[in-house]
Amino acid sequence: MLLVTGCRGQLGTELQTLLGDRAEYADQDKLDIADEQAVKAYFASHDVDCVINCAAYTNVDQAEDSPEAADRVNRLGAELLSRYGRRIIHISTDYVFDGTGHVPYREEDPVNPVSVYGRTKLDGERAVLRYAETALIVRTAWLYSHVGRNFVKTMRRLGSERDAVGVVADQIGTPTYAADLASVITKLLPGMQSGSKEIYHYTNEGVCSWYDFAVAVMELSGYSCKVLPLTTSEYPSRAQRPAYGVLSKMKIRRDFGINIPHWRDGLKRCLRKLEQ
């Protein structure tokens, strides 16, 4: 049996669509992944072959003021699922890097998170690599979908309400449509080698700034709202963001032979779903 944790989030929702009754699904109400007794009891009473851990504390700014809460989900939850489960696919983030690079980050590049969120996600990765029998860690970035709170939905709301909106133009990365990441995860499952522990990067293809991403959302949504470029210093936030978070996908393409859609293609498909 497959178990998908964080099943009501963006990625978890897409995995439910793809996997259907081939998996069990748990949110915090059904299974608190940071409660050791609850995790131990769940695995004792369910024949779980592999966990796809989509659960995460993702409020980057709030994590600065609530490090214990972020650590509980991002590090301890990942550790417990790895200790009591057989196999795990664990979702991580580009925030494990400091963003000072200028070429796409490879899986083996040095990590140096600059936020509580990034540090707790890195601690989660390390726990998975330490405790899991078999593990795949998939780092992704700028995730969005038709559900939940995300940049695309925020821009569409603002685009329908305002004549102009300011968006940071000096943070560079790659948007990732959650449906594309979910599809890739289903392709990784059959290729998991017993006893292996690997890290992979996956985002959509291409590179852009948040400003470029916002311009595309407005354009493809048919909104006349003007997007104004801002610097990071003009839009201060509680947590520091990586200025450059582009991830290299060479390893996942090589090992699994997957085709990766461009981010604008993913955005078009997401917008069609939002407009249905």
Tell me how far the alpha carbon of residue 120 is from its chain's centroid. 14
Do 79 and 36 contact (CB within 8 A), yes or no?
no
Q: How many Å apart are CA 145 and CA 266, to the nearest integer?
A: 9
Pairing label, strands 134-140, 87-93? parallel
Structure tokens at 122: 């890195």
Return the active site residues: 117
Specify the length of the chain in residues: 276
The one-letter amino acid at 134? T
Q: Which helix (H) or strand (E) holds 140?
A: strand 134-140
| Burial class (CB within 10 angstroms; exposed 0-12, middle 13-18, buried 19+) of 154 | middle
Q: Which residue has the tokens 């081939």?
A: 22
User: In 10 A of CB 176, how many CB atoms?
Assistant: 25
For 81, 147, 171, 209, 241, the CA distances from 168, given in Å and listed in that order, are 37, 23, 7, 7, 11
End-to-end CA distance of the chain: give it in Å, rounded. Answer: 33
Longest dimension (CA), the chain: 56
